Structure 1
Amino acid sequence: MDKVVSDQAEGLRRLLARNGSRVLAVTGGSTSVGCTTTVINLAAALAEQGKDVLVIDECLNEYSVSAMLGGMRGAGSFSSVVRGEMSLEAAAARHALGFSVLAAARGNRDAHTPAQLGSVLDGPADVVLIDAQLDRLGQLSALAMQAHDLMIVTRVAAQAITDAYACMKRLHYAHGIAQFRVLVNHVHSVTDARTAFENLAGVAGRYLAVSLEDAGCIAADPRMTRALELSRCVVDAFPSTPAARDYRHLAAELQYWPMRSAMSSRHHWVAPATVTAAQHADQPSAQLA
């Protein structure tokens, strides 16, 4: 009886605390920085901490969320959910680690209004993670623009940092985004990660008037590769490793990030345009090294 009362009380507390799903879009300046592995491990860590997590997979290729998890079947019909023909619970594939995955091909997600896309994100999940696919101009989908936060994943390497800056520049000019969170992946020391973040934040603030927030760092860990070979994530396969601990720390921290409005409602979308020569000229590559 005591357990029933306790469970009911916990359920009531969660219900009263709920203020809609927290939506986080994750992307990076290049394909080799580990965005998809970040999404998978973060989803596993959040589920481990008792959160209802939905992963929306925009990057449908051989390195997609489903592919990395061993080819999950039935990752849903995004269009059917948006059109109200199928419930989110019925459409999304449920992984054994406790999170759901919904595939969102470009043709499906681009055919709907922001209001329709937003309705998918207003489901029962505590956290929605979008593995965001940038288009050929380096811009976000209308779906990813429904996120409350955009996290850029990078590494401690000159080219990766330069690519991250270029990515933020394109997104800033395309969507008017003035704030990003930055996660430094595959680091050998916290000091290196902090130095890389501070350099990037200083240049972004000076040249773009964009503010960056430090999302932390993930340790370089050889067991990350082994986990992928096993079609698993490091949080599940090797939970005591430094990288797994870092993902669990990030999962715990993000639950206390300020809950902002969706990016699409904070910034007026402007017609896509290529970056001008003048904008290219302010690329402070040397200062990012």
Structure 2
Amino acid sequence: MDKAVTDQAEGLRRLLVKSGSRVVAVTGGPIGVGCTSTVVNLAAALASFGKDVLVIDECLGRNSVSAMVGGVGSAGSVRALLAGEIGLDQAAPRHELGFSVLAASHENCAGYSAAELGVMLTGPADVVLIDARLERNGALSLLAAQAHDVMVVTRVAAQAITEAYVAMKRLHYAHAIAQFRVLINRVSRQADAHTAFENLAEVAGRYLMLSIAPAGCVAADPLMERSLELGRCIVDAFPSASAARDYRRVAAEMLYWPMRAATLPRRSALVGAGRAASTPQHA
């Protein structure tokens, strides 16, 4: 009963304050913690719930979302979208798993203001997931900085936890982000994930005054590698696998996270400011 009341209250609150899609930027510390696979599996899980999901791929290359799911348009389509030559539905083709993918590298977004880039976030999607590529100084792009939540993916390993802390520290100073969501990936024992999260939260709270909220954890699952070999995500290929169940649980809970203000003002607040007043682009 309490859960039903909470769900109804959250749903009503979102209706009253809704200003577009829920936008979540997903990033992490070291390469290999599983940010991209997290984005793809969460997108597939959310789509299976009947949600309209847009994935924005900033991390182009062999291990990108675009490469993992295949069959998506070229990165150049984002410039045509921003120029008004094509619509979002053309720039972001819908994958057979039910979510759309927009390839938007930093290079293709260079020269546009935050307000202009914000058009990518104003479509019909219920959830926008950004596979965020951090700048050299550890900051988010002007697009990803408009997210409501920043999810940091890490693993139960000293080096990964340290680099996740460093990533949050840089993001905190770059954007004044006060709260992060942390997902612990490839977990062998729940107790280890709990200890890693508590240690990270304590250090971040003590030295940076940050609030670290759990996004959940995903089990270390041998079927994950097999799904990648098949060119599919585990939520689709092996829906009964432990990791697939974990991704679905995280996706379901994400829908009820409190809707926080974006780090940067959204397009409606910036219209009329013009390029001269926009935040300078990073190299």
Shorter chain as denominator, the TM-score bin is 0.7 to 0.9
Which residue of structure 2 aligns with residue 5 of structure 1? none
Which residue of structure 2 aligns with residue 158 of structure 1? 158
What per-residue deviation string (whole Å, max 9, x for no partner) do you get for residues 209-241 of structure 1? Answer: 111001110000011011011110000000001
Larger radius of gyration: 1
Give the Cα–Cα distance (whole angstroms) in 2 for the partners of residues 188 and 270 of structure 1: 43
Task: Please tell me whether the aligned partners of residues 114 and 279 of structure 2 are also in contact (alpha carbons under 8 angstroms).
Answer: no
Task: Note the C-alpha offset of 1:61.
Answer: 1.0
TM-score normalised by length of structure 2? 0.86
Answer yes or no: is 1:72 the counterpart of 2:74.
no
CA shift in 2, pair 1:16/1:212, >3 Å: closer
State the secondary structure of the residue aligned to 1:134: coil
- Letter of the 1:74 partner, please give it: G
What per-residue deviation string (whole Å, max 9, x for no partner) do you get for residues 92-144 of structure 1? Answer: 12110100000002122232111111121010100000000012222210000
Which residue of structure 2 aligns with residue 264 of structure 1? 264
Please tell me the root mean square deviation across aligned C-alpha atoms, in Å.
2.2
Task: Please tell me whether the aligned partners of residues 110 and 142 of structure 1 are also in contact (alpha carbons under 8 angstroms).
Answer: no
Task: Note the C-alpha offset of 1:42.
Answer: 0.2
Task: Note the C-alpha offset of 1:22.
Answer: 0.4
Task: Please tell me whether the aligned partners of residues 59 and 131 of structure 1 are also in contact (alpha carbons under 8 angstroms).
Answer: yes
Task: Please tell me whether the aligned partners of residues 174 and 271 of structure 1 are also in contact (alpha carbons under 8 angstroms).
Answer: no
State the secondary structure of the residue aligned to 1:112: coil
CA shift in 2, pair 1:99/1:176, >3 Å: same
Task: Please tell me whether the aligned partners of residues 58 and 133 of structure 1 are also in contact (alpha carbons under 8 angstroms).
Answer: yes
Which residue of structure 2 aligns with residue 219 of structure 1? 219
Q: What fraction of aligned residue pairs are identical, expressed as a percent?
A: 64
Which residue of structure 1 aligns with residue 52 of structure 2? 52
Which residue of structure 1 aligns with residue 9 of structure 2? none
Which residue of structure 1 aligns with residue 8 of structure 2? none
Task: Please tell me whether the aligned partners of residues 26 and 153 of structure 1 are also in contact (alpha carbons under 8 angstroms).
Answer: yes
Task: Please tell me whether the aligned partners of residues 187 and 219 of structure 1 are also in contact (alpha carbons under 8 angstroms).
Answer: yes
Task: Please tell me whether the aligned partners of residues 72 and 95 of structure 2 are also in contact (alpha carbons under 8 angstroms).
Answer: no
Task: Note the C-alpha offset of 1:19.
Answer: 4.4
Give the Cα–Cα distance (whole angstroms) in 1 for the partners of residues 161 and 245 of structure 2: 24
CA shift in 2, pair 1:159/1:16, >3 Å: closer
CA shift in 2, pair 1:75/1:42, >3 Å: farther
State the secondary structure of the residue aligned to 2:182: strand
User: Which residues in structure 2 correspond to 1:194-273 (within 5 Å)?
Assistant: 194-265=194-265
Task: Please tell me whether the aligned partners of residues 24 and 149 of structure 1 are also in contact (alpha carbons under 8 angstroms).
Answer: yes
Give the Cα–Cα distance (whole angstroms) in 2 for the partners of residues 184 and 212 of structure 1: 12
What per-residue deviation string (whole Å, max 9, x for no partner) do you get for residues 30-51 of structure 1? Answer: 1110000000000000000000
Task: Note the C-alpha offset of 1:194.
Answer: 1.1
Task: Note the C-alpha offset of 1:271.
Answer: 8.7
Task: Please tell me whether the aligned partners of residues 74 and 92 of structure 1 are also in contact (alpha carbons under 8 angstroms).
Answer: yes
- Letter of the 1:72 partner, please give it: G
CA shift in 2, pair 1:207/1:241, >3 Å: same
| Structure 1 runs, 4 residues or longer, greater than 6 Å off | 269-272
Task: Note the C-alpha offset of 1:28.
Answer: 0.2
Query: Which runs of 5 or more structure 1 residues have no equivalent in the other structure?
Result: 1-12, 273-289
Give the Cα–Cα distance (whole angstroms) in 1 for the partners of residues 188 and 279 of structure 2: 40
State the secondary structure of the residue aligned to 1:137: coil
State the secondary structure of the residue aligned to 1:265: coil
Give the Cα–Cα distance (whole angstroms) in 1 for the partners of residues 279 and 84 of structure 2: 29
- Letter of the 2:204 partner, please give it: A
Task: Note the C-alpha offset of 1:173.
Answer: 1.5
TM-score normalised by length of structure 1? 0.84
CA shift in 2, pair 1:73/1:254, >3 Å: closer
Which residue of structure 2 aligns with residue 143 of structure 1? 143
Give the Cα–Cα distance (whole angstroms) in 2 for the partners of residues 216 and 253 of structure 1: 9
